[in-house]
Chain A
Amino acid sequence: MAKLILETIHKGKRDFHKLDSFPATIGRALDNTVIVSDITVSPHHLRIDETDSGYEVSNLASENGTTIDMVKMTSDTAGLNIPSRLMLGDLKVNIMSPDTELAPTRIKDVKVGFFSFLKNPFWAFVFVALSFSLILLGKFIRTPVAEDPLVHVSKVLSALLLIFLIALVITCVSRLSTHRWALVPAISIAALFMLMPQVFEHAGNFLDYYLTSSLPSSIFENVRNFLLVPALLLLYLVRVHHVKFVSALGIAVLATMPISAFFLADLVDGMSNKQGFSAMPSYNKSLSAVDIRAKKTMTIDSFIDQASKDLDQKMTQSINDSLK
């Protein structure tokens, strides 16, 4: 049985080497125990020796050096704890014991549970159908003139094409990077990308009227702008490609950074305008066909009483702010 396992990670590719006898050497030269191809590693880079108290490493070359557990080796020889993470130039090397505990096996296709919808063709179809219906409804209720139903449908076809285009891009990227097509999850994700803004918009409008406040739609708008795409990407990477959560989060944040930066600039502009002067009154103008609301109807005298006090207070504050 091997005494140590040496794992090299080069451009994302992991190789495992069993070390049975010592000293063992690592480098690009062909006479090494472990031969690596990374060009930042010296021909004879490192030697691992077994000692009475454990193991020690010796730096054989000084070109790009070696770090052990993030600490640069300053002397020629250093003790080696098991497990340890070494950097030989740019090459990541993990040294571990053969009896290192493994992570539990991830079940490939989740047939049940909350996230099963990603891989189920039925749900992909439902999401596409819901997106199509909500976009159609949105276009329909915004049109004030009588139009043939086919005209409304034709307006939504472009959205449907966009869903499949996004799904195609996701699938191609998936194929290139992981050698898997994952078409059904890609369609689900693309459909959710089109569906969720519609859901947010309708929910925001309903809550705006219900609460007599523009805050809900504003929150939903920011969720859509900043969280929707990273969340969908994160979901796809973690649930479909089994990428570790932290890594997937990093990828999602990095990939959506240009979009987020654009919306952030927009948000900062909006906030700056809101804090500045405006000659236009800003009040909640939402109206709803279903008159469901938290605020009760009041008499004119109570309204004038409440409004006078509220506005007096706000004006005192506003004048103080203006005088500052």
Chain B
Amino acid sequence: MLRCLLLLIISSLMITPCLAESDTSSIYEEVESSVYQIRVINNETGKKVAIGSGFVVEKDSILATNYHVVSEYVNAPDVFSLEYLSTSGDSGPLALLDLDVIHDLAVLRSLKPMGAPLKIAPVPEKGAVLYSLGNPLDLGFSIVTGTNNGIMTQDQDGNILFSGSLNPGMSGGPTLDESGNIIGINVATQGNSLGFLVPANYLSVILERLAKSNFVPVKDRFARIAEQLIEKSQRTLDRFSGNDWGSTRIGKLIVPAELDKSMRCWDVSRTPKKDDLFRHFLTECSNQENTYLSKNLALGAINYEYIWMDSEKLHPLRFFTQYEKMNSSFIDIDVSKSDVTNFACHTSFLEVAGQNFKTTVCRRDYLRYKGLSDMLFSLALVGHERQGGLFNLDVTGTNASAAFGLFKKMVETFKWQS
């Protein structure tokens, strides 16, 4: 009996790869005509500047892809245009219908029928076999088999972890279940067969919105992006406000620790030396929730740092010379004159935790994305001869009142421990 059971297991192991191969080839054949390469073309040279993949969904003239595939066209529609390329070599123009920068999705329209629309299905159980399609590295259409490892936690944008080799050029391509239905859209890879998929239900949201408006293209794409970014920032800051931050001590200040699970905090203090005349501690925290907008611009970062300095040996004049040097803050993102205004700042003195702080808030607004700002807050402890504490907070791609709300809540939890 045992021998028979072993034979059955061995024979089934030999048969499984053959079945998987046949499933892969049949799925590829079924959907091949609905998957395209999406190209961004420079109007002047006629050459492609970016490529990705896309697929027909909802209607035979509607294609879906990633926002980052078409971002150059979205940001400069006068300079670039969109084009599809089929597996058989046909090509033609595409137009942008709508987008979702938070989930990295874009919906496009073709002038002619593009094939059978793929159907959207819920994410299958963890461990299910998935088939990802696309045009890796512009080498031709491919199908990659992988495994569903489930939806990641909120702090990773709720993407699906896919154990399969996604490569550049496959972005925007569909990932299908065994029935050939779309469960996700290829979005990112981190090497070693670790890929990320946007759950297809986010695509359904855009398609439903488009269906309501009879598939009329979005009028002001930058206003739509700003609206999405502000909503995301508000949601993130609300989530932060609802969290239990815990507290941490830096010098004599008790301050909020980690605002959220998505925050990564590090101690970056200088290693003390025996003959140091002052002590200096620095901790910094930053989140991992940047939203891609263009090659140079990603917004949504929230960073904060605490610095403490004290001394028993330094004369107050010497101490404050060193302390003043530390009192500087900026936002480390690559923006230009065409993106934002200059910073405007307001400085005054605040009482926090019974202590006086020289406090500055700076704001700059995005020119294209109306209502969207970068905010920078800086607090410097004053009134102590040999003690200094700094708190710097910056929030990018937010609306000013939401950032003020987070700042207020953080500062109100400060405590002084003498």
**A complexed with B:** yes
- Does A246 reach chain B (CB closer than 8 Å)? no
Within 8 A of B (CB), among A179-200: none
Q: How large is the interface on A (under 10, 10 to 19, 20 to 34, 35 or more residues)?
A: 35 or more
- Does A280 reach chain B (CB closer than 8 Å)? yes
A323 partner residues in chain B, CB cutoff 8 A:
367
CB-CB nearest in chain A for B341 = A318
A306 partner residues in chain B, CB cutoff 8 A:
346, 348
CA distance A143 to B277 in the complex (A): 10
Q: A144-B278, A286-B324, A297-B356 in contact; A308/B400 too (CB < 8 A)?
A: yes
Task: Encode contact with A along B74-92: 1 for CB under 8 Å, 0 otherwise.
Answer: 0000000000000000000
CA distance A321 to B337 in the complex (A): 12
Query: B412 contacts A315, CB within 8 Å?
Result: no
B376 vs chain A, min Cβ distance (A) = 6
B334 partner residues in chain A, CB cutoff 8 A:
279
A103 partner residues in chain B, CB cutoff 8 A:
none
Task: Encode contact with B along A56-73: 1 for CB under 8 Å, 0 otherwise.
Answer: 000000000000000000
Q: A144-B278, A298-B350, A299-B351 in contact; A304/B335 too (CB < 8 A)?
A: no
- Does A265 reach chain B (CB closer than 8 Å)? no
Query: B380 contacts A145, CB within 8 Å?
Result: no
**B-side binding surface: helix, strand, loop or mixed?**
mixed
CA distance A94 to B88 in the complex (A): 104
Query: A311 contacts B315, CB within 8 Å?
Result: no
A53 partner residues in chain B, CB cutoff 8 A:
none
Query: B344 contacts A318, CB within 8 Å?
Result: yes
Q: A300-B412, A308-B404, A311-B344 in contact; A295/B320 too (CB < 8 A)?
A: no
A313 vs chain B, min Cβ distance (A) = 9
Binds A, one of B29-37, B51-59, B194-202, B357-365: B357-365
A2 vs chain B, min Cβ distance (A) = 70
Query: A287 contacts B367, CB within 8 Å?
Result: no
Query: A300 contacts B350, CB within 8 Å?
Result: yes
A264 vs chain B, min Cβ distance (A) = 24
CA distance A279 to B297 in the complex (A): 13
Q: A299-B350, A303-B350 in contact; A289/B316 too (CB < 8 A)?
A: yes
Among A137, A145, A308, A319, the residue within 8 A (CB) of B367 is A319
CA distance A265 to B363 in the complex (A): 31
Q: A287-B358, A287-B380, A308-B400 in contact; A318/B365 too (CB < 8 A)?
A: yes
Query: A296 contacts B350, CB within 8 Å?
Result: no
A295 partner residues in chain B, CB cutoff 8 A:
348-349
- Does B401 reach chain A (CB closer than 8 Å)? yes
Given A212-B347, A318-B365, 9 more pairs with CB closer than 8 A? A277-B336, A278-B342, A281-B329, A288-B382, A291-B356, A297-B351, A307-B348, A315-B344, A315-B373
Question: Which residues of A are in contact with B by a Cβ distance under 8 Å?
Answer: 137, 140-146, 212, 276-291, 293, 295-301, 303-304, 306-308, 310-312, 314-315, 318-319, 321-323
